[in-house]
Amino acid sequence: MNVPPGNCLMKYCLSFILVFLLTHLSWSQDRVVVTIPSAAQEADYIWQTIRDISFFEEHGYEVNLPEGELISTLKQKARSGQLSDADQVALTELMVDEVYRKKDYLPGFKHIEAQLKSLNLLIDSLHAMDFAWDFKVYEEYRVNLSLYGPGGSYDPYEGSILLCTTSNGDFKGYKNPTNTIIHEIVHIGIEESIVLQYQVPHTMKERIVDTFVSLHFKEFLPEYRIQDMGEYRTDSYLDTVEDIVELDSIVQDILKEE
């Protein structure tokens, strides 16, 4: 068997590991737990989303929220910094009394459960990588479903992900939710040692994550797309999986050029 020379060797080895995991192993440690929120939990997430509505609008995110006069009023108050505790109480009452139905989350729940075997193995491949910096991994990631929000978000300190689904079991951006889940897991991995350490701007952070996923998982996530947010500084530096392994020093070099 011929092995590619030079800087292609790293990419070859990592691809071989992924192929082996996905085609030869029938068991993998459970890496993902999927949860359905209560009405109160969903209300809390909607509240956080409304509080950050200006950020989402500024960066061009499409945000799903319940319909109605109350939500329109809360968004307007958020834009002008006038939200109150009474507004949060009113939102919770709306969700509990009128909006929330657990059955609306079941199709999305089942859709992710059908992908758990491949998700486990893709996450295992991240555990197997030998980074030259501290890529943070969790033994288990919790995926919390929501019918609302921008699509996906993450908590790097708990290893949890919020994922937007629909009552039909669809997901924003992709038919296969694995794309967004892996995207958020990579966010968690780079948050402390890269993003916070070097104060990486939001658009560059997204470019790095998209490039990371595209390079490392492109054979297994063929639908994955790189977002165009007008940030291209990393493109000439991140071309192979080997470059991702050296991400720490690459980001430092890019930011020194400013």
Q: What is the pLDDT of residue 258?
A: 67
What range defines the domain where residue 139 resides?
8-33+106-256
195 and 119 share one domain: yes
Stated as kind and residue range, the H or E segment containing 235 is: none
59 and 170 share one domain: no
Measured CA distances, 145 to 33, 37, 105, 112 (Å) = 11, 7, 7, 10
165 and 58 share one domain: no
Measured CA distances, 127 to 34, 52, 140, 163 (Å) = 20, 33, 11, 22
21 and 119 share one domain: yes
Q: What is the pLDDT of residue 24?
A: 42
- Give yes or no for a contact between 78 and 50, defined as CB atoms under 8 angstroms apart: yes
Domain boundary among 75, 99, 123: 99
Compute φ and ψ for 227, nearest 5 degrees: -70, 145
User: What is the distance between the alpha carbons of residues 142 and 159, in angstroms, rounded to a whole number?
Assistant: 7
Rounded to 5 degrees, what angle do the CA atoms 214, 219, 224 make? 40
75 and 196 share one domain: no
184 and 248 share one domain: yes
111 and 94 share one domain: no
Could you read off the pLDDT tens digit of each residue along the chain, which spans 258 residues? 444 455 555 554 555 555 544 444 434 468 999 999 999 999 999 999 999 999 999 988 889 999 999 999 999 999 999 999 999 999 999 999 999 999 999 999 999 999 999 999 999 999 999 999 999 999 999 999 999 998 889 999 999 999 999 999 999 889 999 999 999 999 999 999 999 999 999 999 999 999 999 999 989 999 999 999 999 999 999 999 999 999 999 999 999 886
Instruction: Indicate whether 2 belongs to any domain.
Output: no
Q: What is the pLDDT of residue 127?
A: 94
184 and 231 share one domain: yes
243 and 208 share one domain: yes
247 and 166 share one domain: yes
User: What is the distance between the alpha carbons of residues 191 and 212, in angstroms, rounded to a whole number?
Assistant: 13
Domain boundary among 99, 118, 138: 99
